[in-house]
A = this chain, B = another copy of it.
């Protein structure tokens, strides 16, 4: 069992590799090797099997050819540029988010080895004129180029699977919170930083109102679901390989209450409320009234409560900071 994680240098890619290393098996077979691929060479992780770290630019078909090999059994395709970045740089968004995925699928088609491909789509595919509630079978009317690119890749995942070129499965990720590390260029970045920075004793700015609702999942639960996602039986997926990954629909106030419940009332005092119209404009088009019926029926799940998300952050990241 050889696993390739494209986007292996990112928060989810690294944590996924660590979880797989701890497990040692996937789809019933012992893992022989994990290859971590990213635009910059990803940090290696500890494992009892072979770990390789390589650079790969998915926008470049030759680079993809070197990363996806004839003995690659499972591909996690996590690499993307984020929403605000793809909105600013349309061409880069198309090249990485759309053609990057296409390059990986085309490489699989050329190899003829039909690997399992686990693709991370996004709740950014929802939007526009489509009414709540949203879920697996909502018409994608995204209001960002990032969402458009993800929705097109969902279609590719289904067609390349139907044709037998890959055994694909695509999951629309909720917004991941509490995300460790530094703020990034995603417009959703504050949805982690208003918790992460205060938990680290630092100030953070909340650019939206306390009643702003969104759809969340912890990194730990996301990894669990991505591993289950790879293990799903193709026969159980039917004609649509795409589904919503379960999350929880919560207000900013509920996130902060959960932080206070777990960590006391100190951290919440470090939040500065400072309205940012541009961030508000982007995130007000996002959707939160989302169901994940298919994934739940297949055994994937959301966090039990946002208190768990806070605890996971403290356990997984703060202790090692």
User: A: which residues have CB within 8 A of B?
Assistant: 90, 109, 127-130, 136-143, 145, 148, 151-152, 155-156, 158-159, 162-163, 238-240
Contacts and interface: CB of A to CB of B under 8 A. Distances in A.
Given A152-B152, A158-B148, A141 B240 contact: yes
Given A129-B239, A152-B152, A159 B145 contact: yes
A142 B158 CA distance: 9
Contacts of A142: 155, 158-159
Contacts of A109: 90
Majority-rule SS of A interface residues = loop
A138 B141 contact: no
Nearest to A125: B155
A148 B137 contact: no
Contacts of A137: 129-130, 139, 141
Contacts of A240: 128-130, 139, 141
A159 B148 contact: yes
Contacts of A141: 137, 158, 239-240
The count of identical subunits is: 2
A145 B142 CA distance: 22
Contact of A139 (B129, B139, B152): B139
Contact of A155 (B138, B148, B159): B148
A163 B90 contact: yes
Contacts of A162: 143
Given A129-B239, A239-B128, A240-B129, A148 B139 contact: no
A140 B128 contact: no
Contacts of A156: 148, 152
The 6 closest A-B pairs by CB, nearest first: A128-B239, A148-B159, A137-B139, A152-B152, A129-B240, A129-B239
